[in-house]
Structure 1
């Protein structure tokens, strides 16, 4: 194997440059994979553009699927030749050569799943960020069970997924429904059928000015748990308003400084903090060791669900232009040109 590989690096003009660089060496708790497909996330263009001062020269991308070529000395969950998909900490200044948009990438031990033979690399490439995110949001912070497991206390209870057609939203709808909750989700009308197929009991239009009132009426003023997969200034207050009179907990994917209701706790989750040894300097959050094992347990449960055929894959928008397509794909994600409900994926290896 050549000591170098091609990768998509962030430039000082907030652009992407494909060039040669060293293949990263796996630490004790990491695996090195040959990347066959990588999916794009909003966090990719945000790191490239908003945090450009600290991400210049780093390899971009956080979702990768491929074949294991080498493992760290303490890794027991994978071996060379295994098909896997997981989360990469791309655009990471402390390990600048590691990112999903590359011919080779590093995954943290057990922050990944093996891929069944009936699932393509392209389909599986979307798992990394969303499964790690909902491991923190639903399992660690909101107290739902491991992915695919039933919650004995869920009967008759509602769970809110704000924007259920997003990548994280689709996974959250399935996780909550499999746990036994009645899921109320919001989406655009053209995504209603998709979100219901994933397990939602009801789907409402988040454009409606009275959507919070609709949710309170539907749930009989009993909603206590939920996740806002958009987590913007317009969505958060409305999602909070939908909670019942007892209040509850709402997981957020972005920090939010206000507190619309004192009885609804807002919980900001950040997937990177599940990755042992990592520091998110731009968010001021260090890795939280207590999150690493629960997240890896969640991934293990997710893997069992996938192999049991109980997980519905997200539709993909495939670009087979390789690493040279990364820049245009990230622009499409940024400008909202990826079809609703789809995941933008770049095919990297044949």
Structure 2
């Protein structure tokens, strides 16, 4: 019987269980997983905390980046058929995530993987790319790459600063910003600065300290003749001081900022952190592509396939964690310890051993702790403005 990995709430053990191949609902695609991608959310937001009312089945849903071949489709799916090479964004808070031999995704966040793109590359794309897209084009309302007007000589440029430009989400944001002809693109990075330099016009190193970071950004803006404040900021980190730093160079009178985490949960001073009244601030929550923004998820999933096929978009650098499902705990701990720099961890599911060698095996135990004390209990998964 196919296997599935269950990550325990402590992130200290992974249980490998046997589970039947899922049966697709009307608009679902069942995918035989070749490669699963890992994301920081897999250890930061354990779903048994975020969705305590869904029930025990939510323990089976960790892992949202899927790359593999179609096994079966629901009766109302017409774009995919068994055997197709696909990548998909699994719906958070539902069963049958990508840490398994078979996973499920809605057809509107599934897309064909071009033959020039490997499954490893494809597994780096769905969640990160859709997060960047919904931030830039839904929330920040920046010009989309496929509807650009000819720029008259002397037309005002559209600058953007991306905090965390070497992260998967930040890197895709930088790539989209380039396709949208935003300029200049300023990236904030640290250890991954070398990679960030391939994506943006300027790289600022946050490790020099907040004052130096702000000074460097202001120097770039002055050099470009853009004053001293940035009109558009995408914070792909949204913790550990990034919120406070970006507040210092964001235009207080008409600036727009998108964060991937809500400031009220991740600011240093959660009670008192706030943006000026002239700032449009949005927490960009990608799960909206499965609820309030299904059309956006549909259009951009297909657009991602096209961009990958013709080379306008490249996948994120990746590192294969050995052991398949048995390597999930290793990958999650590496993410938690901050070891991922300009790289995305992926798992080759076929490398899973026949016998589980890590964590807890056998029957599952209901170890769900009370969500009342977890810092993410009020996480705004439908976004907030």
Q: Secondary structure of 2:142's match?
A: coil
Structure 1 vs Structure 2 CA RMSD: 2.3
Work out the CA distance in 2 between the residues paired with 1:163 and 1:151: 29
Instruction: Give the aligned partner of residue 3 of structure 2.
Output: 6
Instruction: Give the aligned partner of residue 284 of structure 2.
Output: 269
Q: Secondary structure of 2:346's match?
A: strand
C-alpha deviation, 1:59, in angstroms: 3.5
Instruction: Give the aligned partner of residue 260 of structure 1.
Output: 275
> Any conservation in 2 of the 1:146–1:301 contact (CA below 8 Å)?
no
> Any conservation in 1 of the 2:48–2:59 contact (CA below 8 Å)?
no
Of Structure 1 and Structure 2, the greater strand share is in 1
C-alpha deviation, 1:180, in angstroms: 0.3
Instruction: Give the aligned partner of residue 135 of structure 1.
Output: 133
Work out the CA distance in 1 between the residues paired with 2:253 and 2:9: 49
1:235 correspondence with 2:242: yes
C-alpha deviation, 1:46, in angstroms: 2.0
Work out the CA distance in 1 between the residues paired with 2:278 and 2:48: 33
Q: How many residues align?
A: 327
Q: Secondary structure of 1:51's match?
A: helix
Q: 1:317 to 1:147 in 2, by over 3 A?
A: farther
> Any conservation in 2 of the 1:317–1:344 contact (CA below 8 Å)?
yes
Instruction: Give the aligned partner of residue 202 of structure 2.
Output: 202
1:247 correspondence with 2:261: no
Work out the CA distance in 1 between the residues paired with 2:193 and 2:159: 18
Q: Secondary structure of 1:349's match?
A: helix
Work out the CA distance in 1 between the residues paired with 2:328 and 2:215: 41
C-alpha deviation, 1:165, in angstroms: 0.2
Q: Secondary structure of 2:178's match?
A: helix
Larger Rg: 2
Work out the CA distance in 1 between the residues paired with 2:145 and 2:6: 34
Q: 1:184 to 1:210 in 2, by over 3 A?
A: same
C-alpha deviation, 1:240, in angstroms: 2.3
Q: Secondary structure of 2:256's match?
A: strand
C-alpha deviation, 1:314, in angstroms: 1.4
The CA deviation string for residues 207-264 of structure 1, in whole angstroms up to 9 with x for no partner, is 2323223323422235211210001151012112222353311111111123132222
Q: 2:218 aligns with which of 204, 210, 216?
A: 216
> Any conservation in 1 of the 2:252–2:279 contact (CA below 8 Å)?
no
Q: 1:151 to 1:251 in 2, by over 3 A?
A: farther
TM-score by length of 2: 0.79
> Any conservation in 1 of the 2:47–2:59 contact (CA below 8 Å)?
no
Instruction: Give the aligned partner of residue 110 of structure 1.
Output: 108
Work out the CA distance in 1 between the residues paired with 2:334 and 2:345: 8
Work out the CA distance in 2 between the residues paired with 1:117 and 1:346: 20
TM-score by length of 1: 0.86
The CA deviation string for residues 166-212 of structure 1, in whole angstroms up to 9 with x for no partner, is 00011000000110002111111x433322212x1111112232322
Instruction: Give the aligned partner of residue 280 of structure 1.
Output: none
C-alpha deviation, 1:331, in angstroms: 1.1
Work out the CA distance in 1 between the residues paired with 2:284 and 2:35: 26
Higher relative contact order (CA 8 A, sep 6+): 2
Instruction: Give the aligned partner of residue 378 of structure 2.
Output: none
Q: 1:81 to 1:149 in 2, by over 3 A?
A: farther
Work out the CA distance in 2 between the residues paired with 1:101 and 1:159: 35
C-alpha deviation, 1:295, in angstroms: 2.4
Listed as ranges, the gaps of 5+ residues in structure 1 are: 276-286
Instruction: Give the aligned partner of residue 71 of structure 1.
Output: 73
> Any conservation in 2 of the 1:162–1:186 contact (CA below 8 Å)?
yes
Correspondence list, 1:308-319, <5 A:
308-319=310-321
C-alpha deviation, 1:86, in angstroms: 1.8
